Structure 1
């Protein structure tokens, strides 16, 4: 999973060596905090992909990493399987219009973007530990119980 660093002025997406290879990107993605216009949580990040990887890697249903280009737009994507993700819409960023990131700390990121922070960069997992009361990202994702099926009335016996 990607490492998200957030301070008072920017969000930084730090990639592991494996992610850098698949994304074909050597530097972390840095986004000014003032460019973030909307943050959404999603259970299916695959529906948010638009365009084609250029440069990047896509293995259908397994992994999608890199820059996705469509008609006049570029998105940065790090998606793994069917895990929960965060979609960050950007306004005025010179490089990307959207970030789609698979992370188990999406809820903490949404909460952290609304908090006043100091100038030191803080890893999002540390914000969750400091808050202590933040529910996990999968909270409320359980399936509702199914209603029991009605039983058929027995057939009358023939004489």
Structure 2
């Protein structure tokens, strides 16, 4: 089972060896908290899957691990079970601007430590990957606690959306 760690500046998803093998993902995932646009709890995570598996493993309605590619980007899935709650985390994927250099995500991926604008050091564990996923869907028994932990202040809005509804 993946371990999630919520820090003040980032969220780390530490994959178990089995999850790494099934998802064809060799590294853990790190998401900058500033890039998270929404976190939604859903009772039907299978309806949130978009695109095709590339690479990853799936047994429909039983488990899905790995990367799913679609016309607008990539999603990462860690889904288990038919009736298990999940958290859908939408991420703002900044495009690279040639004049400004690589995005902060790429800088953090290349360097073991970086200093953000507020001066606090960010040190993802070695081997962590800051991928360019636009959505991460994670099955967890602790969905409510995860969404609560992702809130920084009352100014942050955790939106609730239903797939297919405007």
State the TM-score, normalized to the length of structure 2.
0.67
Secondary structure class of the residue paired with 1:77: strand
**Residues 8-27 of structure 1 mapped to structure 2, 5 A cutoff:** 8-27=8-27
Superposed CA offset, 1:36-80 (max 9, x none)? 000000011100001111110111111100000011310000001
Q: Cα offset for 1:115?
A: 4.3
CA contact (8 A) 1:2 1:103 kept: no
| Corresponding position of 2:164 | none
| Corresponding position of 2:138 | 101
CA contact (8 A) 1:87 1:99 kept: yes
Query: Matches of 1:102 and 1:67 in 2, distance apart?
Result: 15
| Corresponding position of 2:160 | none
| Corresponding position of 2:90 | 89
CA contact (8 A) 1:78 1:100 kept: yes
State the TM-score, normalized to the length of structure 1.
0.69
1:114 aligns with 2:114: no
Unpaired runs of at least 5, structure 2: 95-104, 106-131, 154-166
- How many residues are treated as equivalent by the alignment? 116
Q: Which has the higher contact order (CA 8 A, sep 6+)?
A: 2
| Corresponding position of 1:75 | 75
Greater Rg, structure 1 or structure 2? 1
| Corresponding position of 1:60 | 60
Unpaired runs of at least 5, structure 1: 117-159
Runs of 4+ with deviation above 3 angstroms: none
